[in-house]
Structure 1
């Protein structure tokens, strides 16, 4: 029984499917074909419903009433001499026109009617010429007598005519009117009128239906280009109505005659603009390819001019403007249409082009026919056929575009489905409860998910706790967010990391998933390296600064320890950086093991470490640092089969809340440098309020001041005399020194100013100011310096290594070339040796311009006879440390004697600095030093004092020194002073 039932159901379903297919074929293929074939056969074979024999065009005699108003009798007299014509053009004239014609006798039994088929006729009056009997009058509002409104013009009923009847008429016309007279029998005119109305209904209904269809389609699909097309179809309808003469109505409602001219003008202008807008929207992609967009833009601007003209010009003047401007616009569109047909040959484009081409051709034909009377072109175009044909082709174009869009969507869906399947990123869809709806192969492989498990598996089954809530929160944010989450430990993916993006769509959650475990590990490593030293694992400078910033915001006590390894450089130099790196690792390990608490520990230099001792009182920190010194310094560091002994020095500062990071590190660094100088303690501590804090704070403020300004306020120059020992009263040489006056009026030490300028990077600007100020001063006062042979001025190492500064200085020397010979530029040994070749070039350029060079602080640096031979300096300035103690230490005397002898043998002058007592002065004179400088001679002076002096000796105030200077000019007296000095020195030693 069951098998019989199944067989019956199968048979029924088979029969049902056969019937559905048959109905489908009948509806889709057979019926449309029969309708199309029947329509074509009807149009070709069957007679027209309103056929007529046609009208007889009557010859006319016409003249216009341009001179003065005339009576019908007078007009008839003038008309006898007028030429005969079948059609008369008013040429836009609106003056009354008189015309006469003869109606032949009736050839049929039907009454005779005369038609005046002009849609531009405004009024008409007719009389029987032989008797002047009025036949009636007509205008666009009313008719009288035998006159009637018919089709686009008027008609007059004459009845059955046994013999010809002459008629005289007067009419007024607007626009480019074509006057003609046609004789009809009554049935023929009736059929022609019905045919006219049928055509009007056909074109009106067809175009309005199509316009409504396109408009509704555009609104539903939000295709605003089709809205323009629907409005353009309405404009097409109104132009066709104007051409046929029934534009005086709209939807069977009569438009007031006074509105007609303005309505026609605005319609023409609006249709022009709509055509241009539709063209540019439909073919915007193709127009970019074919070019000439400027030409289309010009046509659009012409349309704006035409629209303005339609509002301000009367109808008779607007029509010529329409011919000119419209002709230009249509020519542009025809040209671009030709380009489109040639270059963009898609079927959609071809249908649209055909539709627009028919309309443009019909309109262009009418314009030419109305303007120039080209009857062949005008008569060859049927406005109804043109409107319907263009609308039908527009419908084909819309259908083709819809088909193309549907095909495009189908291809897009196919591509999307293929992409969904082959993309290496996991894609998924979840329902509102979090269960899987879809998943691509990449996601299924990533999660080991099977299709059969979709509805049974929840999102939380594969990810960390709270994953579904996190996903919902992410999806609610839209497409901008992303989230990283971990796998599920129960499934063995707890170590994995996944990057997730998701959105809400139709109540579902759709998103993508990527396995970013390796990337996450790399990012964590980069984050670690951003704040840690890769060698020791300690914090780097950035990490240390962050740790300090955290403690500086806390109210708890804390301290900062700065650790420096004293002999670490020897390890690198003797055994290589690999051994040094191993020592650094062991140092960091010992430091971490020493502190019971986990203090932030960092390495901020080659062998420099910092420890942020959080929540630690200073006394406790001192005790821990003493122990740390022992831990780091006592036990050797074993590297392979070698053991290295490295000592450590620590600078410890007590810090308070709100301290700046850079200040804390700077103070700890300074304390550590002091600790390195103390051989036994190796620990220097700065407590709160220590003088060192204030001193360093003042230095930092000065650095900031110099760093903010190109040239800080308060700079000025002083000059310290340099006395010649061979002619002390005959020379006035001096050294220019920089000073800076603080805001409180105190004078800052030159050393602090220079160091701060070098730290701030502003030293070159200050040196440039010094040199400019000095040269300007010399230029102004050199005539008051007759005894001056040289003026010393220091240049810093930073400036000498600044190429821009060097170019500026030599440009400045070129401006003051006449006084450069006064300058003696002082450079230190370390600067000279930093780049020997650069120093040689600098000295050579200075000598070429007439200046001099002195090597400053000679003996304090890397003194070498080899480099002295390479540098052609003019003077050696002996370091003041040797000069100040030379009378107490014979070794210093020997050094000074050697330097003086070396300078003399190399052809250089010698200058001794820091001369502070008479014994040192006598010793230097005995040794043979050329020049001396120091407080014993004179302290730095204002420039006015220098200008008022005659020599460096005139500044000396010590009586013993004055007596010594006076004796220098007497050789015997000077020799006795020399013997006394030697005896005094011998008695001391």
Structure 2
């Protein structure tokens, strides 16, 4: 067997750096070393530091040990009048009790006190310390000589006086025996006066310890605050900015409690500015505490409720901040106790609820921090307020500040941990959702290459993970897809587009819905395969503008094509095609046969017209063709050949052959014509062609009279705007003459007219047609009724012979509930004159809804007005229904009256109608009476009233007021002579009335 060679360099594991096993061992060894260093740095070093710190704090002595004999006993009194002298003060103090501390209770008047200073050392200087940070001035004398030892204030010292720590001290030298002293001091705030005797070394150590503590707290909290602030700004975590400011506030409150808030960063604050600075500090700290609480527990507060209570407490803080400016320090402190106490109570209440309901570690740490603050920071305030000396001096401010800040930091850290865990879970959920979502998700780099994609997208595009970084967006989609995606990503989250697939990938027939945004120079988006939906939408779009039976355009598509043609073409034509008697095919042979005929008609039209024409089915058996770039003469030639093809060649459906005739209306249209106008003109021409027996093609050339007539009709319709009536409406009145007593009554019918802008009078049929077409017929009827009632009320005294005034109501108005309610509201207003009013209703409308009509008639009668059935005999009246209508009069249709003398049958009809009216207890009124023979025939038949040109044409309202009776308007002498004979016969007859 051949030798494998030495197991060293150049052997089996040889090589410059060794073989694979050697490299594996070195890598493993390096990994173990990194892990050991990691564990050492994370666990061992911090543990050693913490353990050694505890040992040092518990076992090792302080660097500057300070001891004293404790507070001295003294006598003190408040000079409220500020009038005592040193001598009188000594006498007054003789009766004062001996105490070892004295509370000023916010008094700013002088405090006198006397005490005996012991000898503290035989070889060191004896000093007396007055450790009160609220002391403003101090002056001392020896007793009984009253020799001044000097004066001290926050600005300057003199004699044996000096400033020490937060208060003052007086040096007594090296006395051989105790020294009796008298002192006078002034204070600001809730001061606690104590007196301590120390030697020079003790005072030095105490001062150094004081400075060390102040440096420790200031340096520690400021460093922590700066670190938190910088971290918050970089990470844009604004809650931690509030925490950084709260730490600075905590620092200032600790400095205030210790008495070194007179400086900031080794710079002395002017004494005059200290009261305002302290007040603002207290108020700002209150607001910061509330803001930090609100931000830390914004989610939990939604659970525990009472957010309104927190808002009240925050508003109280604003009040406190405002009060800090005008109030003096002595008056501000009580306000701080009251308002601050309320805010603390609110926080304690909410924290209790948070502990009970939320039970999170963040809440627990914050409760502990707040508890320390309440116990330590406000201990002096509470001690001064209630006079409890032990409460005021029970907790070290340095320890309290560091502890509360550390616990608040724990709360912040716990909050950060909870939020990080929440984000981690959200990321896991997002990653899982990314993997399982059925919508394709992707990320592209700035060059358009895939960075990642979820399984749905990879399956959709047949992509492999190995394609990441290699495949470009354009590889999978239609040309220009990358540019479309870039433009889309800049529009925002709510934008989306559709793109097509790639021919190279065999997905050219696929459609995709794309959404995308730009993020960190990458493009992220989603992709959905919407091919089926796109096809369905295309089909719906087709059906929206096409007729499903013939495949040609439907009404909507035709209107769109006409609008386009009207906007772009200067001159074009429109053909309207209608099949004659097509309904018979459907009725006799079924709709399938009719549908097949319609398809063949459409095929013939499309075969005759070229593809540039827009052709479609309006509905039923009506078709329209938009003939663009075609003159009217060319269109006439095309339509003539089309008519021959449609009318002469039978339509084969199965074994049957149908012969169908068509009519065409052809109109010449111009630029800017409205769609509805063009269709209306063409429809009108087609109807004219259908009515003609010989000419099945009717052509309206530009400027035809039919155009002008229809334009005038449309203009009139437009004048009836929404809820408004056109100008120029007025009323005329046509007399209705009694044949029983012609000269004894003045009755008439109110008729509607309209004066156009050119001064011409528009006939009522056109006015009513326009009102009906615009949907304003009810408003028009209301105007007629209200105007009539107003005219009657105004001219009632001029109408002594008037028994009734007829006003015609349109059928559409009668069936409008809103109109009827408005009419009866008018009747209530004009109830005193309703006896004149007679409403005319056509019989066809009355019988359309018999129950509704009867109810309407009953209400009219209850109000005192009358009802007449108009155009009676023109419809298909059933006498069985007639007896159910309690009308007051029948107005016989004028078609029977006008021709009754020439057609004996009409005489018989009129005679029957008159007899019917009398038998039903109604009056009869004959319309359209135009000659004397008809008038005489009506008199012989027994008609009660006549109306027509034989009596008078419609008159102006003023003419009615000047007339004596309806007979006064008769102009024909023969008619007048006949009426006179009637008057002589009825001289003693009562005046008839519609009752």
Per the normalisation by structure 2, the TM-score is: 0.91
- Residue 305 (structure 1) aligned with residue 305 (structure 2): no
Asked if the contact 1:825/1:853 (under 8 Å) is kept, the reply is yes
Distance 2:419 2:519 in 1: 24
Deviation at 1:896, TM superposition (A): 4.6
Residue equivalent to 1:29 = 43
- Residue 567 (structure 1) aligned with residue 577 (structure 2): no
**TM-aligned CA distance change 1:707 to 1:194, over 3 Å:** closer
Match of 2:718 among 689, 704, 707: 704
Deviation at 1:60, TM superposition (A): 1.1
Deviation at 1:381, TM superposition (A): 1.8
Distance 1:567 1:281 in 2: 82
Match of 1:594 among 586, 608, 617: 608
Residue equivalent to 1:416 = 430
Distance 2:176 2:471 in 1: 103
Match of 1:513 among 517, 527, 537: 527
Asked if the contact 2:82/2:110 (under 8 Å) is kept, the reply is no
Residue equivalent to 1:689 = 703
Residue equivalent to 1:3 = 13
Distance 1:656 1:887 in 2: 51
Deviation string, structure 1 residues 468-504 (Cα, Å, up to 9, x no partner)? 2221222233334211111112322111110111122
**TM-aligned CA distance change 1:968 to 1:647, over 3 Å:** farther
2:13 counterpart SS class: helix
Residue equivalent to 2:30 = 16
2:63 counterpart SS class: coil
**TM-aligned CA distance change 1:821 to 1:679, over 3 Å:** farther
2:550 counterpart SS class: coil
Per the normalisation by structure 1, the TM-score is: 0.92
Match of 1:775 among 781, 785, 789: 789
Deviation at 1:727, TM superposition (A): 4.8
Distance 1:951 1:167 in 2: 132
Distance 2:372 2:161 in 1: 37
User: How do 1:807-956 and structure 2 match up within 5 A?
Assistant: 807-816=821-830, 819-847=833-861, 849=863, 851-868=865-882, 871-889=885-903, 892-893=906-907, 895-896=909-910, 899-900=913-914, 909-925=923-939, 929-956=943-970
Distance 1:324 1:864 in 2: 94
Deviation at 1:270, TM superposition (A): 2.1
Match of 1:213 among 227, 241, 251: 227
**TM-aligned CA distance change 1:195 to 1:598, over 3 Å:** same
Residue equivalent to 1:980 = none
Asked if the contact 1:636/1:644 (under 8 Å) is kept, the reply is yes
Deviation string, structure 1 residues 4-33 (Cα, Å, up to 9, x no partner)? 422222221121112111111222111211
Asked if the contact 2:450/2:468 (under 8 Å) is kept, the reply is yes
- Residue 370 (structure 1) aligned with residue 384 (structure 2): yes
Distance 1:634 1:476 in 2: 63
Asked if the contact 1:444/1:450 (under 8 Å) is kept, the reply is yes
Deviation at 1:895, TM superposition (A): 4.9
Q: Which 10-residue stretch deviates more, 438-447 or 634-643?
A: 634-643
Distance 2:800 2:108 in 1: 110
Asked if the contact 2:103/2:192 (under 8 Å) is kept, the reply is yes
Count residues in correspondence: 971
Distance 1:626 1:909 in 2: 58
Deviation at 1:851, TM superposition (A): 4.6
Q: Which 10-residue stretch deviates more, 79-88 or 430-439?
A: 79-88
Asked if the contact 1:707/1:761 (under 8 Å) is kept, the reply is no
Distance 2:875 2:658 in 1: 30
- Residue 677 (structure 1) aligned with residue 687 (structure 2): no
Deviation at 1:874, TM superposition (A): 4.6
Residue equivalent to 2:448 = 434
Q: Where does the alignment leave 5 or more consecutive residues of structure 1 unmatched?
A: 972-989
Deviation string, structure 1 residues 646-678 (Cα, Å, up to 9, x no partner)? 433322221111222222222222222322321
Distance 2:825 2:331 in 1: 78
**TM-aligned CA distance change 1:893 to 1:570, over 3 Å:** farther
Residue equivalent to 2:481 = 467
Residue equivalent to 2:102 = 88
**TM-aligned CA distance change 1:855 to 1:536, over 3 Å:** farther
Asked if the contact 1:600/1:612 (under 8 Å) is kept, the reply is yes
Distance 2:682 2:531 in 1: 42
2:702 counterpart SS class: coil
User: How do 1:681-830 and structure 2 match up within 5 A?
Assistant: 681-708=695-722, 710-725=724-739, 727-779=741-793, 781=795, 785=799, 788-816=802-830, 819-830=833-844
Residue equivalent to 2:126 = 112
Asked if the contact 2:575/2:624 (under 8 Å) is kept, the reply is yes
Distance 1:66 1:961 in 2: 126
Q: Which 10-residue stretch deviates more, 668-677 or 378-387?
A: 668-677
User: How do 1:336-375 and structure 2 match up within 5 A?
Assistant: 336-375=350-389
Match of 2:72 among 49, 58, 72: 58
Distance 2:861 2:242 in 1: 86
Match of 1:386 among 378, 400, 417: 400
Distance 1:738 1:574 in 2: 47
Deviation at 1:438, TM superposition (A): 0.8
**TM-aligned CA distance change 1:921 to 1:8, over 3 Å:** same
Deviation string, structure 1 residues 243-269 (Cα, Å, up to 9, x no partner)? 111112222222233332332222222
Distance 1:950 1:66 in 2: 111
Distance 1:859 1:81 in 2: 129
Deviation at 1:742, TM superposition (A): 2.1
Deviation at 1:539, TM superposition (A): 2.6
Deviation at 1:442, TM superposition (A): 0.4
Distance 1:349 1:18 in 2: 40
Match of 2:645 among 631, 639, 663: 631
Deviation at 1:104, TM superposition (A): 3.0
Q: Which 10-residue stretch deviates more, 879-888 or 537-546?
A: 879-888
Distance 1:446 1:889 in 2: 87
Q: Where does the alignment leave 5 or more consecutive residues of structure 2 unmatched?
A: 1-10, 986-995
Distance 1:563 1:541 in 2: 13
Distance 1:376 1:78 in 2: 28
Distance 2:618 2:397 in 1: 92
**TM-aligned CA distance change 1:248 to 1:736, over 3 Å:** closer
Match of 1:283 among 276, 294, 297: 297
- Residue 39 (structure 1) aligned with residue 50 (structure 2): no
Asked if the contact 1:327/1:364 (under 8 Å) is kept, the reply is no
Residue equivalent to 2:336 = 322
Residue equivalent to 1:451 = 465
2:720 counterpart SS class: helix
Asked if the contact 1:821/1:851 (under 8 Å) is kept, the reply is yes
1:510 counterpart SS class: strand
1:200 counterpart SS class: helix
